[in-house]
Structure 1
């Protein structure tokens, strides 16, 4: 059995969130565990367009903002936190977004079983759990085998963009990503925050606590 890189949390759902799940999940959502074989991205989005895999989107505000500003690409957003899933579904309806699909489940399972090689334009992993205790490091998303899997799903020239505000994890991320033989870092170490990545409430809390965010953007050869 594979080791989870996340801690499942349901959380409490508001009436708005219950309504979003009840009405919108069948339209804009999918469940990773229910998928059999490769996911047909063209059928899922109703068009052929570059696809971004957005891993662990939290409450979905950044995903909705990016998708609204980037209508030429489709966003496959994957999360395990039920309130966040419900919130993003509500944002999709509120903003009239047609280029977002919400996947419930394990992003690595989705990539491994359901996404073809060279099928993605970008992979975003913003603020994954740093699992700071040494005994939990095996649960971290960014480690060699996981990076190789995600990179294999990128087209050549596609971007793998990770962000963390946990400085020790940032250094490990940098070393791990740069060690992958098929990824190139066009920056001298960490990258400046690109304009397309919105600053979130989570990030602002970290900044107030003295934890700046570190962006790592690498490109597949």
Structure 2
């Protein structure tokens, strides 16, 4: 039987009927990486405060599909929820959490060094409105997050998998769009629906994103069919983006709203 961790993680997992196996390629490749001295210290001292301990399914980055996150229980309040997929070194999500203490933030990342750096940054600022998940993002969107629970979903600079034979690994696909529709808050009582924000420095991937997301029945391009968005003010300029711009790559922002 899986342990019940509702008080610590804001979710109540249940038992499962048996093992499951991934049937689709994931959008990442697990890489090993050593932590720096400051990262290791932050990881050891603050990991339990920020990193959610979730029940696994078939892999170290999987999550049991019966595990459902209760954000209100996790953060101890009812607030807007912003989820960043692929938070990397945590630059964007930590800056956003510090600038907007009234909003709760959930960062999803698989690479331990990136998570450790995010923990370090969060601990330095004593953030109380940020938590981390080391989980395959697709599984988070499919079952971990309740339907209609997310106010904003961020996907900044996902791996473009630029070789044609690797395009099947790209995160933004029609099935991804369906999962996004599932978790974004639907419009109600005159309030607009939740927002999906994306950014990429790979022009061909940006074109594919527009094609896929414009075709999603539950999403609306906030700037008109086929249009790109102005740079999102809430996205800080990261080292990764600086390198891309220095190399001459065009940065494309996109914005979609739940119908």
Question: Normalised by the shorter chain, which TM-score bucket?
Answer: over 0.9
**TM superposition shift of 1:71:** 1.4
**TM superposition shift of 1:31:** 4.2
Q: SS at 1:30's partner residue? A: coil
The match for 2:19 is: none
Q: SS at 2:52's partner residue? A: strand
Moved segments of 4+, more than 6 Å: none
Q: 1:86 aligns with which of 89, 98, 116?
A: 116
Contact 1:191 1:216 in 2 (8 A): yes
Does 1:161 pair with 2:197?
Answer: yes
Aligned residue runs from structure 1 range 32-181, under 5 A: 32=54, 33=56, 36-156=66-186, 157-181=193-217
**TM superposition shift of 1:37:** 2.2
The match for 1:199 is: 237
Q: Distance in 2 between matches of 1:212 and 1:71?
A: 32
The match for 1:182 is: 218
Instruction: Give the gaps of 5 or more residues in structure 1.
Output: none
Moved more, 121-130 or 66-75: 66-75
Moved more, 188-197 or 33-42: 33-42
Q: Deviations over 1:142-185 (max 9, x none)?
A: 00001110221000210011110000000000111111011111
Instruction: Give the gaps of 5 or more residues in structure 2.
Output: 1-21, 57-62, 187-192
Q: State the Cα RMSD in Å.
A: 1.3
Higher relative contact order (CA 8 A, sep 6+): 1
Choose 1 or 2 for highest CA Rg.
2
**TM superposition shift of 1:105:** 1.6
Contact 1:53 1:76 in 2 (8 A): yes
Higher strand fraction (1 or 2): 1
Q: How many residues align?
A: 221
Higher helix fraction (1 or 2): 1
Q: SS at 1:204's partner residue? A: helix
Q: Distance in 1 between matches of 2:120 and 2:195?
A: 28
